[in-house]
Homo-oligomer: A and B are copies of this chain.
Amino acid sequence: MSPHAVLTPIWQRQLGTVCRTCRIKRLRPRLVSVGAVQKRRYFTPVTSSEDDSKEGDGDGREKVVILGSGWAGFVLSRRLDPDKYRIVVISPRSYFVFTPLLNDTCVGTLEFRNVLESVRKRNRRVEYIQAWADDISFADKTVTVESSVLDPDVGHALTGPRKTNSSVEKPTDKAPGPGHASVEGFIDQNVQMGGTGKQQAPTFPVRYDKLIIAVGTYSQTFNTKGVRENAYFLKDVGDAVAIRRRILELFELARLPIIPEDKKRFLLHFAIVGGGPTGMEFAACLSDLIREDISRIHPELLKYIRISLYDVAPKVLPMFDAALADYAVKQYRRQNVEIKTSHHVEELRKGFPNDAEAAQNQDEQRPGLVYTIRTKEEGDVGIGMCVWSTGLMANPFVAKALNHVLQFPAESAQITQGEVADPSQRQWTIQRDPKSGSILVDDHFRVNLSAQAAEGETEETVPQACMKDVFAVGDTTKLKTGALPATAQVANQQALWLGKALSKHPDPESFAQSAGFTFRNLGVFTYVGGAKAVLQGPNTDHEGIAKGLKGWVAFLLWRGAYLTMTLSWRNKFLVPMQWLAVKLFGRDISRF
A270-300 near B? 1/0 per residue, CB < 8 Å: 0000000000000000000001110111011
A17-45 near B? 1/0 per residue, CB < 8 Å: 11000000000000010100011011111
A581 lies within 8 A of B570 (CB):
yes
Complex: how many Å from CA A147 to CA B256?
A: 8
A44 lies within 8 A of B300 (CB):
yes
* Closest B residue to A352 using CB positions: B185
Q: A113-B590, A365-B179 are in contact. Are A50 and B187 (CB under 8 A)?
A: no
Report B-chain residues with C-beta under 8 Å of the C-beta of A589: 94, 118, 120
B303 lies within 8 A of A41 (CB):
no
Report B-chain residues with C-beta under 8 Å of the C-beta of A335: 41
Complex: how many Å from CA A258 to CA B569?
A: 33
Report B-chain residues with C-beta under 8 Å of the C-beta of A129: 255-257
* Copies of this chain per assembly: 2
- A175-222, CB < 8 A from B: 175, 178-183, 185-188, 191, 202, 204
Complex: how many Å from CA A441 to CA B590?
A: 32
Report B-chain residues with C-beta under 8 Å of the C-beta of A547: none
A134: interface (CB < 8 Å): no
A109-153 near B? 1/0 per residue, CB < 8 Å: 001110011101011100011100000000000000001011000
Complex: how many Å from CA A352 to CA B186?
A: 10
Interface residue range, chain A: 35 or more
Q: A292-B14, A297-B122 are in contact. Are A181 and B592 (CB under 8 A)?
A: no
**A537 CB to nearest chain B CB (Å):** 27
A557: interface (CB < 8 Å): no
A584: interface (CB < 8 Å): yes
**A244 CB to nearest chain B CB (Å):** 11
A100: interface (CB < 8 Å): no
A581 lies within 8 A of B590 (CB):
no
Binds B, one of A442-450, A481-489, A510-518, A571-579: A571-579
Contact of A258 among B180, B202, B302 (CB under 8 A): B202
A405: interface (CB < 8 Å): no
B574 lies within 8 A of A581 (CB):
yes
Report B-chain residues with C-beta under 8 Å of the C-beta of A124: 296-297, 299
A81: interface (CB < 8 Å): no
Contact of A299 among B43, B249, B303 (CB under 8 A): B43
| 10 cross-chain pairs, A with B, having the tightest CB-CB distances, nearest first | A570-B585, A95-B590, A42-B302, A44-B303, A577-B577, A116-B590, A122-B296, A169-B179, A50-B257, A155-B592
Query: 22 A-B pairs, CB-CB below 8 angstroms?
Result: A8-B334, A41-B336, A50-B300, A51-B257, A94-B252, A113-B588, A118-B590, A122-B296, A124-B297, A130-B252, A130-B256, A147-B258, A149-B253, A149-B256, A179-B367, A181-B366, A186-B259, A186-B369, A187-B259, A241-B592, A570-B588, A574-B581
Q: Contacts A44-B303, A94-B589 given; 4 further ones with Cβ under 8 A? A: A10-B334, A39-B336, A42-B302, A117-B590
Q: Which residues of A contact B (CB under 8 A)?
A: 8, 10-11, 14-15, 17-18, 32, 34, 38-39, 41-47, 49-52, 93-95, 111-113, 116-118, 120, 122-124, 128-130, 147, 149-150, 154-155, 169, 171-172, 174-175, 178-183, 185-188, 191, 202, 204, 237-238, 241, 249, 252-253, 255-260, 263, 291-293, 295-297, 299-300, 302-303, 305, 333-336, 352, 365-370, 530, 568-570, 573-574, 577-578, 580-581, 584-586, 588-592
